[in-house]
Amino acid sequence: MSDLLSHAEAVWEAVVLLLPGFTVEVLPSIDSTSSELMRRARSGLMQPVLLTAEQQTAGRGRLGKGWHSKPGQSLTFSIALPLAPSNWSGLSLAVGVSLAHSLHPDVRLKWPNDLWLHQRKLGGILVETASTGDAAQGQRMVVIGVGINIARPEASAVAALVPDGSTVAAMAPAGLAEVSVGITPGEVLERVAPPLVRDVLAFASQGFGAFAQRFAGLDALQGLAVQLSDGTRGTACGVTPDGALQVLTDQGMLTVTSSEVSVRPC
């Protein structure tokens, strides 16, 4: 029995009472767990599900970036569930807060969707939505994709995933095994998935406000000099009540949303 499969039942047992009809699927290989769940959602399948794979051959990150994945050396999974929050803003930050607290006390969050360990990228989050039959009531199918390095990937493998034409160098990666020696992808899945579902449901009812204080305590950019993708420079000053980044520039305070820029310390 594979490591992931051996932990799948425990994940299911912990979540099914919160999400009736919830299932857990483990595959040996797939192009992308998020791509597969988005395909299902667009075809009308709306049951809550967690899909994980030993390997992703075409994993996706934010802004078209790829995600490095090898069997036993990383954890890649996606969760799909119908959601109808009054405000979607800040969902990726709430997901990050949940994951960071479950993973290790040293994990921090780089706005808007990166997990950091000792100033290096440990993992990433991708949130996508698809319309459901209840769209008029604000309900959509949300697909939350998570990639976490267990072993530290080689820098050359990560650099190869930077989109063509990008002038941004790949960040030196981190691996969870650096601080949790011997931990397996299945153990990490069992550790993070049930709290993540609970926190996403809490976000749906309470919004980002329920996570704002915890995010502030994990904010890796707070007080740092940063440069936006358009070249603007300033100092990161936390986030707004709906999760937008605040950057103090020479022209004043700039509010940045996740769809506009990527941010990197400079």
Contact between residue 76 and residue 147 where contact means Cβ atoms under 8 Å apart: yes
**Cβ-Cβ contacts under 8 Å for 176 (sequence gap 6 or more):** 103, 104, 117, 122, 148, 149, 150, 183, 188
Nearest CA-CA partner of 94 in 190, 259, 213, 235:
213
Q: Which residue has the tokens 């996706």?
A: 60
Rounded CA-CA distance 27/40 in Å is 16
Contact 142, 91 (CB under 8 A): yes
| Angstrom distance (rounded) from CA 252 to CA 21 | 50
Start-to-end C-alpha separation, the chain: 46
Catalytic residues: 62, 121, 264
Q: Is 121 within 8 Å of 174 (Cβ atoms)?
A: yes
DSSP 172-235: PB--GGGTSTT--HHHHHHHHHHHHHHHHHHHHHH-GGGTHHHHHHHBTTTT-EEEETTS-EEE
Longest dimension (CA), the chain: 59
Give residue for tokens 């595959």: 27
What is d(CA 176, CA 160) in angstroms, rounded to the nearest whole number? 21
